[in-house]
Amino acid sequence: RSMATAARKSLTIGLIPADGIGKEVIPAARTAIEALGSDIPNPKFIDLIAGFETFTRTGVALPEETVEVLKNDCDCALFGSVSSPSRKVVGYSSPIVALRKILDLYANIRPVVSVCILSLVHVDMIVVRENTECLYVKQEQQTFGEHGKEARATRLITERASTRIGKMAFELALARPRKHLTVIHKSNVLSVTDGLFRESVRAVQTKDSRFEAVTVAEQLVDSAVYRLFREPQIYDVMVAPNLYGDILSDAAAALVGSLGVVPSVNAGDTFVMGEPVHGSAPDIFGQGIANPVASIRSAALMLRHLGYTEAAHRIDNAVDSVLREGQLLTPDLGGTAKTQEVTDAIVKRI
């Protein structure tokens, strides 16, 4: 699926590096887009802030101005990574979770593909993660019960969100050679919520005859994780509720060498935001060794989604060529190269 480019005379891209290595890899993605020259009409970049560091500095994790600029002035955006704390911090809420909801970026599309020299098995799949609901509605309460503290979270699954993520997954599967879709759920236990997800996704196929060409399988999420490690080649497109999709795509990244090479886009009907699947990696932040590949590939995915197919192709080919040569790999891939060296090598090939 791509948003039409025909009438576009320029492309304005919001850049939100956010926290940690996001600040090192988003500039690399910008350099890759700039290297495309006239393939992208008048690219303009707007630097925007968000994240935990923004919160500690200003008291707000997602400033209103960032949201307004994205909505009013940008055609698309690139988001880096965020370091939300694992404890409750009063007044703080994850800006990436909020942005996905505010901009209605309901699909998180995560292609996980083998990097030839690094993979023992051939993996070529897309994890399609519902991006707006499930446990990420973040309605949690803690109370005191007879035996002490009790905590509850609401898990929201709607027919509307499950249907539209289902449609997105069927479209993606239809465009691939294997045309195979696996619906992930746990409806043997969560028969109401996951039952609705499963039923809504499956109903998509009955309402559009084009989707008859797609073969559909279902898998319980625990069994999907097992089979993902045993025989990842069986998967083509997977569609999952938010939390399962989050976990499955990180797990799948382990099969292709590193989270540092896995890109994603957060896509809605009118806006798209590229985002590396990896987090802010505070352990390596500041050393200049973060892998820029996931962000550069996220830029390519974003451009492809906007219809700039040739530009996206040029970036992907350049990345593949650097990885194939294997001379310049960051430490997550077993090498000693710096972020800047890998970026320069990719840019040179673009």
Residue 258 lies near ligand GGG (rule: CB under 6 A): no
Q: Tell me: does residue 53 bind ligand GGG (CB under 6 A).
A: no
Q: Is 82 near ligand GGG (CB under 6 A)?
A: yes
Quick check: 109 binds ligand GGG (CB under 6 A)? no
If the CB atoms of residues 84 and 200 are measured against ligand GGG, the closer one turns out to be 84
Active site includes 344?
Answer: no
Q: Which residue in 31, 66, 81, 249 binds ligand GGG (CB under 6 A)?
A: 81
CA distance linking residue 166 with residue 28, whole number of Å: 33
Q: Please identify, among the stretches 80-88, 186-194, 237-245, 330-338, the one whose residues bind ligand GGG according to the rule CB under 6 A.
A: 80-88
The alpha carbon of residue 70 and the mean position of all alpha carbons in its chain are separated, in whole angstroms, by: 18
- 96 lies in the binding site for ligand GGG (CB under 6 A): yes
Interface with ligand GGG, residue 279, by CB under 6 A: yes
Q: Which is nearer to ligand GGG, 99 or 173 (CB)?
A: 99
Tell me whether residue 236 or residue 275 sits nearer to ligand GGG (CB atom): 275
Concerning whether 236 is annotated as a catalytic residue, the answer is: no
> Is 250 in the active site?
yes
The binder of ligand GGG chosen from 275, 316, 332, 341 (CB under 6 A): 275
Residues ≥6 apart with Cβ < 8 Å to 79: 16, 18, 22, 26, 50, 96, 99, 266, 273, 274, 275
Rounded CA-CA distance 1/54 in Å is 34
Among the listed residues 54, 66, 84, 258, the single contact to ligand GGG using CB under 6 A: 84
- The yes or no reply on residue 249 touching ligand GGG (CB under 6 A) is no
Q: 194 or 275, CB closer to ligand GGG?
A: 275
235 classed as catalytic: no
Number of residues that bind ligand GGG (CB under 6 A): 11
Minimum CB distance to ligand GGG, residue 81 (Å): 3
246 a catalytic residue? yes
Q: Which of 19, 39, 136, 235 is catalytic?
A: 136
Which of 80, 232 has the CB closer to ligand GGG?
80
From 93-101, 147-155, 199-207, 211-219, span contacting ligand GGG (CB under 6 A): 93-101
- What residues make contact with ligand GGG under the rule CB under 6 A? 81-82, 84, 94, 96-97, 275-276, 278-280
Task: Give catalytic residues, as residue numbers.
Answer: 136, 186, 222, 246, 250
